[in-house]
Structure 1
């Protein structure tokens, strides 16, 4: 017949093996009932000259109580995770139709042009190059940058005025301040969120036909604007 120690070990092992909370609760209830039955039987039939160690079964009762508390904590954590996922999904859906800014240099050219934004720590003179997916430069221009975040929209025409095919284009900036020292300018891409994939965690947003995790969104802007 099973002993009290074996019963206690079986329920502890089930919990430590990441058993689902509802199944572990059922297992705990079943094993605890068995534990009490075995305890009662041993108390009834114990040898008066060698009685059951009260410290031992008290310790095992405490173990069951600790396991029960652990299961309750796990259930509460599962609830919190579920609520967080729901909140993320609700937040992600709110981005649909809005223009967002994401770290990056590559933007997709459409009939509306291709847009970027960049952040210069100080006023600077800059050369902006736009490269196609093959790495060839299709546009070069000189611009004066203000300090802070500003937008840049390319209409898709090269320096000869020829409209370039839709696709992915990469923007690079080389900037110098008034003293001729190099200025590091960070770039972002902008685009409208056209769909959300809620099957992923965290949810991903489709921007310019490219998926981006929700936590990669830096800013929400009203619209793409010219520099």
Structure 2
């Protein structure tokens, strides 16, 4: 599959920056109007009944607080923009490389799909099932598994002996030890990144049809 990058919509950080600029213009206009009204009131006040200074002092403080909040939002927006740019650059560097991430879905391509299985103790009998995108079991294998992390590679052959089409497949493992007790099996998958989806807040790595958030990548290597 040819590598590609998907981008849609407006960046949240850019949208926030536009809103902050609009808010700043609005508060500036309101503040100018407030000062004009205040000056007019002071000029026209009755010397025998002067305005309550506490009221307009409180209003000044409120305006200052709002302006400070807008400045804070602008700083956060700039930080988000910088972070996003850094994440995009990092995600782009993964294209063409093999990654590893938590999950039980892997892509079958060129007659191979691989997962990493991790067991706290050895399993004398493990039933490994491969399911297609509709949830149907297409291949079943029975074997023993060692304790610790190990690789499991499926050659794409179904139970009927046919070659399964390329696509996303799910692995399901039911393992038991020599005493017949269940053994928990955690799974990771590996595959080559062939595209990116940058439409959301976090870059998504595309491994065939499998979508992997950048934050969930646990390993990377050259193909």
Paired residue total: 204
Q: Offset at 1:100?
A: 1.7
Structure number with greater Rg is 1
Give the aligned partner of residue 100 of structure 2.
101
Q: How many Å apart are 1:117 and its aligned residue?
A: 1.1
Structure 2 distance, partners of 1:158, 1:61, is: 75
The residue number in structure 2 matching 1:32 is 31
Residues 4-46 of structure 1 deviation map (CA, whole Å, 9 limit, x = unaligned): xxxxxxxxxxxxxxx9211221222222222222222221221
- CA 121–66 in structure 1, closer or farther in 2 if over 3 Å, else same: same
Mapped to 1, the partners of 2:211 and 2:190 lie a distance apart of 13
Cα shift at 1:120: 0.7
Per the normalisation by structure 2, the TM-score is 0.80
Pair 1:174 & 2:174 matched: yes
- Which contiguous aligned blocks of 4+ residues in structure 1 show a shift greater than 6 angstroms? none
**Aligned pairs for 1:16-55 within 5 A:** 20-55=19-54
CA distance in structure 2 between the partners assigned to 1:136 and 1:112 by the alignment: 17
Bigger RCO (CA 8 Å, 6+ sep): 2
Displacement of 1:205 after TM fit?
A: 1.0
Q: Distance in 2 between matches of 1:58 and 1:159?
A: 81
Q: CA deviation at 1:161?
A: 5.5
In structure 2, what is the equivalent of residue 68 of structure 1? 67
Q: Which runs of 5+ in 2 are unaligned?
A: 1-17
Aligned to 1:12: none
**Alpha-carbon shift at residue 51 of structure 1 (Å):** 1.0
SS of equivalent to 2:114: strand
Match of 1:142 in 2: 143
Aligned ranges 1:1-227 → 2 under 5 Å: 20-125=19-124, 126-133=126-133, 135-147=136-148, 149-158=149-158, 162-217=162-217, 219-222=218-221
Following the alignment from structure 2 to structure 1, what is the Cα–Cα distance between the partners of residues 166 and 198? 28
RMSD between aligned alpha carbons? Answer: 2.4
